[in-house]
Copies of this chain bind each other. A is one copy, B any other.
């Protein structure tokens, strides 16, 4: 996976200012679970396609995810200094480079889909349209501004569900649907993959809220208590109900896709975490 991510990044031309190229490699190739590309490929396989055919699409989704993390970390946003166990991009390379590399990575994601030889033209167009939805005014961008700006009264259960959808599940669903489309999924299969994505995205975000509160920076690779001051489901529900909701969501995900699917097994492994065991 990392090899292909590296290949899909351009290299700096001789003599050019190479800060964006270095920053891109750092943002994209650092430690990371590669959850989204793995799901993209498993979705393709789940419907009978070859996982490898969805590799570049998965890499595109990872580029978008990495770009969003670079922006989330900026001083005018979460003001984070540590990500995936390394200094954040604006700390290493400056704010200007961080912002511009996010733009360049997002573009490179679209370029990777456009160049993918394993994806048919009509599937490319549909996958790209889905990606724009996951990123723009109804996706990551809107989710992030809400996360930064929404007043506490908007962070009720409904508000937080919407926020989690925009910040996490939308891209998960997108990765799964488009991965499925590459594999030739039927409309029914696409719907199942979307339900799985919604459920697993929600569980993933809840788990992240919990991790932020109980696990040390050394283990998460991020600044501790990044959510401090922001209302999350942990505040609304408390730890017991949150843990129960994670289990329920995981169960819903399994039901959507079938417990024997490799996607279900992957989801279970993903949710398991030594630091959250009791």
Asked if A100 is at the interface of the complex by the 8 Å CB criterion, the answer is yes
Asked if A76 is at the interface of the complex by the 8 Å CB criterion, the answer is yes
Residue contact A110 to B110, C-beta cutoff 8 Å: yes
Residue contact B148 to A10, C-beta cutoff 8 Å: no
Cα distance A133–B129 in the bound complex, in angstroms: 18
Copies per complex of this chain = 2
Give A1-57 interface residues, CB cut-off 8 Å to B: 10, 13, 16-17, 19-21, 24
Asked if A181 is at the interface of the complex by the 8 Å CB criterion, the answer is no
Interface bits A128-139 vs B (CB < 8 Å: 1, else 0): 110011011110
Asked if A103 is at the interface of the complex by the 8 Å CB criterion, the answer is yes
Asked if A71 is at the interface of the complex by the 8 Å CB criterion, the answer is yes
Interface bits A84-95 vs B (CB < 8 Å: 1, else 0): 000000000011
Tell whether A100 pairs with B71 under 8 Å between CB atoms, given A132-B107, A142-B16: yes
Segment with Cβ contacts to B, from A119-127, A236-244, A245-253, A270-278? A119-127
Asked if A208 is at the interface of the complex by the 8 Å CB criterion, the answer is no
- CB closest chain-B residue, reference A139: B107
Asked if A161 is at the interface of the complex by the 8 Å CB criterion, the answer is no
Contacts of A144 in B (CB 8 A): 96, 100
**A residues adjacent to B (C-beta < 8 A):** 10, 13, 16-17, 19-21, 24, 71, 74, 76-77, 94-97, 99-104, 106-108, 110-111, 114-115, 121-122, 124-125, 128-129, 132-133, 135-138, 140-142, 144-146, 148-150, 154
